[in-house]
A = this chain, B = another copy of it.
Amino acid sequence: MYLICNKADLIKGVGTVSKAVSVKTTMPILECILLEASGGELTLVGNDMDLGIQTTIEARIKEEGLIAVNAKLFSEIIRKLPDDDVYIETNDRSGITIRCAKSKFTVPGQDGTQFPALPKVESENGFVISQGTFKDMIRQTIFSIAAEDSGRPVLTGELIDVRGGYLHLVAVDGFRISMRRTAINSPIDFKVIVPGKALSEINKILESEEDAMMQVVFTGKYIMFTMNNAIVVTRLLDGDYLQYERNLNMTFTTSVRVNRRELLDSIDRAALISRESKNSPVRLELTNELMIITSNTERGSAYEEVPITLNGNGMSVAFNPRYYLEALRSIDDEKIEILYASSLNPCIIQATEGDDYKYFILPIRLHS
């Protein structure tokens, strides 16, 4: 293998596929990225056996071939090279030589044919979506997936629920449900569960532009995201997901309209007092024109007033401020609506119009 490529292109490509490289593994080849030179392109692949990412960059190929090299070392070296063309060549010690201006590196390599290929995902099922939209949807839900050590593997992923012309992206951790939806075009309805880690890595390589598109297709075991120059394949999670729809369609008696930023800032301040005091939530009292937010612990006390428009009965509820804060931070709207039924019931934070997002949050039941 012998090729010449642009340093910036190479850094970008290696950055993309490195997100799928194992950090700790008993199989050294999984700490590598595959370099494959053929037909005027350099293809780069990272694959930790759960998540695989492939990208291609332009290169002048003097001799075709493939080799796997340690991702971390290779990435560190190319990022520090001078700004010049990069020459990469396999050497007679089964490694590669990297040359750039007056710098020359040799690093060990491994047989590229032993590198695990990305699973083939050949399917017609799926949809096309804007990268910018999907990136927003991930950001606006992923904070409420369950932790890896929660003992509920299925909830460490997000549900992609396609039905009735909408894609719903759903994250549930047992205390809250975060749902974002957008209209899409799919001939079939389906549900698949995508690992949270994969979504958070995909999020990093998605472009923010609305008009950069991405194709998503899936089989029984895998889902594949195809962007301009990158392909991401991830294993799906097996298991039954929560029937979240009925939670989101509960009946509520009271609705509150409020400025998102004012509410966010007030809860953020009150949380300073409740923090580190697990059994002392933030309390919220709904009156005719004000939401009164209080917290009282051994750290001190906080009292905040936020103007609201109340429709229904006043009441008092207690909650974990983090759940409100994460939902409120993820929303872009200036004004939002919150639905309540009673102090023992969950609430839903949603848009003042339409059903594009819903954040369902369980209350904390107080003994007093």
Report which A residues bind B (CB closer than 8 A): 73, 76-77, 80-82, 95, 102-108, 265-266, 268-269, 272-273, 298-306
Contacts and interface: CB of A to CB of B under 8 A. Distances in A.
21 contacts: A73-B272, A73-B299, A76-B272, A77-B272, A80-B268, A80-B272, A82-B265, A95-B300, A102-B305, A102-B306, A103-B269, A103-B302, A103-B303, A103-B304, A104-B302, A105-B302, A105-B303, A106-B300, A107-B300, A108-B298, A108-B300
Contact of A266 (B103, B265, B269): B103
Contacts of A306: 102
Contacts of A102: 266, 304-306
Given A73-B299, A81-B269, A108-B300, 14 more contacts: A73-B272, A73-B300, A80-B265, A80-B269, A80-B272, A102-B304, A102-B305, A103-B266, A103-B269, A104-B302, A105-B300, A105-B303, A106-B300, A108-B298
Contacts of A108: 298-300
A154 to B, nearest CB: 37
Nearest to A102: B305
Copy number in the complex reads: 2
Contacts of A76: 272
Contacts of A302: 103-105
Contacts of A299: 73, 107-108
A245 B134 CA distance: 64
Contacts of A273: 105
Contacts of A105: 269, 273, 300-303
A238 to B, nearest CB: 39
Name the residue in A104, A269, A273 with the highest tally of chain B Cβ atoms < 10 Å from its Cβ: A269
Contact of A269 (B77, B268, B300, B304): B77
Nearest to A296: B106
Contacts of A272: 73, 76-77, 80
Nearest to A69: B300
A346 B105 CA distance: 28
Nearest to A100: B269
The 5 A-B pairs of least Cβ separation, nearest first, read: A107-B300, A102-B305, A104-B303, A106-B301, A80-B269
A104 B301 CA distance: 8
A105 B269 CA distance: 9
A116 B76 CA distance: 49
A82 B95 CA distance: 59
